[in-house]
Structure 1
């Protein structure tokens, strides 16, 4: 049994919760603030790079430092809540995240913003799992589906609206407003949580320091391995070999410790005995891979290859958010009437269809296919994420939620980082391979080459340079299409796993346990 689980306060009785609407608004403001910061900085990176005088490789630490810190800090959420109370942890997380956002906006050097982003990740790690746990506790069983739809919509705001909002703020004001926008949101969220959220009864427990240290080391080294592998030619680099071996050893120590600890371990073993939670966590990992990898690829594809302006890129990607929000509304109404496995199957099928459409993209097309495929993928993600959360926690005992929600978020975060790293590495590799194949086909004896206009004549230095740029574009497009095809097959191959999910007999929260006093 984990230290966190042993001390987790008894769940809140939904029938005794007052101000449910204000609690929901307050915690969702914090959730949206955190979710936005996973992607809002992406489109602003070129502007940051120039302002902070950083190289292309260095500026990516603005993104990866946040993911690493959040992934490492997320599993601490349950223990922190057990020791100091969920309301207090929530308040500290909001305050810390808001202050870190201000520090990001004020940063004048690369290392200042990287350190500020690390702080953002540390404080922001608790916001998403805590918001999910609170919504599960304050809502009666007949409203859990709608509550998870609201929570899922908040989670989806980041990858959907982040690039568009970041592009608009960067273009209209300055890249620093990508972070300053969190300040008023953080203030409102803190006030709502302090005023309306019921406090849980904390109970001090010992932290499983060995379990936390080994898991943190495994996740941190894995992220370093994924981030730097392509730059250092993977296992030809001693650093990459050390990170790979270190991550495997740390995870092995964590796994052995978890299964053999007598008194307590960092991961509650009871979570692993719940099949729906385990399969749901696997799906969370897969959804994180597909969603965040796609969102990482599209802005560079649209801006770099198709030449779309930053703001127009956000506008073209906006229908994805419309599709997701529409699906969220429908799922909230259908989740108690239709088998969640059927809803998830529909979501994965729509996602696969959208990815197939993306494999048909070309360099000379208009934006219609991008808009249509984005809308369909938005529908697919919306039909997947909410029932996934409901199914994963449907058979989990209420007292395990504070342990389960951080692990669920951790798996999604790791999935996103793994997905982004894989598609970026494959994009580089496939682009180089396609460039070599296309260049090998160009010879002065080819009739097609002989009929090229003078501007593309490979016999002249200027023509050769222009021709090479065009080959680069074509090769890059082939690389992007290869990534979309890979994710399409991953989505289709995941469908049979739905059969392993048990249909819940009762909704989460049916057994709420002893009541906790509502605020006075």
Structure 2
């Protein structure tokens, strides 16, 4: 697939994607801001996990269900996002998702027990799915700077949100465990108003998607294998994100600072590191190296779970590899999947978030039944396995890199003409 603007034309130079990504219409910035707040919800609860366990008399595995309910519902709901969007339009789908996040984040803050919070986080995940899948399609469709620039902008929003989420969670969680939930509700309300005002009404697509399309898309080898890569990699990623806070024995504020540092590295390498490494080494080779190093980081935590300094340094360092992987795997999925981008996004989101949702809960159970070494060693194995699975689509990744570097349409993209 070429890196072209919406009107067609020559692809952007290899180094131009990051710079052009930030010259955007107001509507794109409104959606990007909402993305930042949405992605804050992923790491928002990190700094308050230990305090939630103590104040609500819950076990670590019960607290980890805050991740599981949120991400598994997000994953399953990804299957219906295209069906909904094709019937009510992208803008209305964005608004519906934002409304659900505002309501369920506020009700989570008003909850009286861990079970209620888990349930409301599930509703939050439904809104998150409607928003995330549609926002990526809107940004790709409306952003200047072409496809690569749109992906950089989207991953920038992800990185900033992931960086700010733990910091906000730590600051508000230091006052009360309810604070982070109310904080997201207020910020999402602002994003909702901005989306309603700045995003132009979008027409309903001529083609109505079926609910089965994302599942049927898994028949395509490149998409299914890249999605499995995402699942395995996210297992290791969310094992660290979800359970490492319990090993650090820090206050919410200090935990927020640790994961803010982690998130800053995610953002920097998603925006600048990934494009540079891709231009120098190619997508496949960069991802092999990243996954190998990410496996080493998880293994360090698994070997030294009682060494707080080692856990903190390894956790922060993992942000480098997560930032690179997030950008490059998302770009790879959109480049080599022979289906429309909204379908590819929904399929990939469904598969990878299953891994992200189950990993933290599994980590809690493994620690309860064995010890703190086991989940992180398993995480290292799954990330290494992700690299092995990715190697089976090496040729497709190399071909996509070559097509992005030269003018012309990709033979892989079923919707190339419709989205150009």
Q: What interval of TM-score do these two structures reach, taking the shorter chain for normalisation?
A: 0.7 to 0.9
Mapping of residues 3-402 of structure 1, within 5 Å = 14-15=6-7, 20-45=24-49, 47-48=51-52, 55-56=58-59, 62-108=66-112, 112-139=116-143, 143-156=146-159, 161-171=164-174, 173-202=175-204, 265-267=212-214, 269=216, 271-303=217-249, 308-328=250-270, 329-335=272-278, 338-361=281-304, 363=306, 365=307, 367=309, 369-396=310-337, 400-402=340-342
Q: CA deviation at 1:77?
A: 0.3
- Matched positions, count: 389
Give the number of the structure whose alpha-carbon radius of gyration is greater.
1
SS of residue matched to 2:39: helix
Contact 1:137 1:512 (8 Å CA) reproduced: no
Q: Cα distance 1:101–1:487, how it changes in 2: closer, same or farther (>3 A)?
A: closer
Contact 1:350 1:379 (8 Å CA) reproduced: no
Q: CA deviation at 1:85?
A: 0.5
Q: CA deviation at 1:294?
A: 1.0
SS of residue matched to 2:349: helix
Q: TM-score, normalised by structure 2?
A: 0.80
Q: Cα distance 1:78–1:482, how it changes in 2: closer, same or farther (>3 A)?
A: same
Distance across 2 between alignment mates of 1:163 and 1:330: 22
Q: CA deviation at 1:406?
A: 1.7
Select the structure with the greater relative contact order (CA < 8 A; seq sep ≥ 6).
2
How far does the alpha carbon of each residue in 1:177-208 deviate from its partner, in whole angstroms, 9 at most, with x for none?
Answer: 21111234223322332333344332588886
Look up the match of 2:366: 426
Contact 1:100 1:116 (8 Å CA) reproduced: yes
Q: Cα distance 1:276–1:192, how it changes in 2: closer, same or farther (>3 A)?
A: farther
Q: CA deviation at 1:486?
A: 2.4
Q: CA deviation at 1:89?
A: 0.8
Contact 1:87 1:200 (8 Å CA) reproduced: yes
How far does the alpha carbon of each residue in 1:398-456 deviate from its partner, in whole angstroms, 9 at most, with x for none?
Answer: x71222212211112101123223322322222xxxxxxxxxxxxxxxxxxxxxxxxxx
Distance across 1 between alignment mates of 2:239 and 2:233: 10
Distance across 2 between alignment mates of 1:84 and 1:176: 34
Contact 1:83 1:205 (8 Å CA) reproduced: no
Q: CA deviation at 1:74?
A: 2.0
Look up the match of 1:495: 387
Q: Cα distance 1:334–1:312, how it changes in 2: closer, same or farther (>3 A)?
A: same
- Once superposed, what is the RMSD of the aligned Cα atoms? 3.3
Contact 1:75 1:407 (8 Å CA) reproduced: yes
Q: Cα distance 1:371–1:153, how it changes in 2: closer, same or farther (>3 A)?
A: farther
Q: Cα distance 1:27–1:333, how it changes in 2: closer, same or farther (>3 A)?
A: farther
SS of residue matched to 1:126: helix
Q: Cα distance 1:198–1:506, how it changes in 2: closer, same or farther (>3 A)?
A: farther
Look up the match of 1:446: none
Q: Cα distance 1:60–1:331, how it changes in 2: closer, same or farther (>3 A)?
A: closer
Q: CA deviation at 1:112?
A: 4.9
Look up the match of 2:357: 417
SS of residue matched to 1:14: coil
Contact 2:148 2:331 (8 Å CA) reproduced: yes
Distance across 2 between alignment mates of 1:394 and 1:207: 20
Distance across 2 between alignment mates of 1:395 and 1:366: 41
SS of residue matched to 1:107: coil
SS of residue matched to 2:43: coil
The gaps in structure 1 that reach 5 residues or longer are: 1-11, 213-264, 431-478
Q: TM-score, normalised by structure 1?
A: 0.66
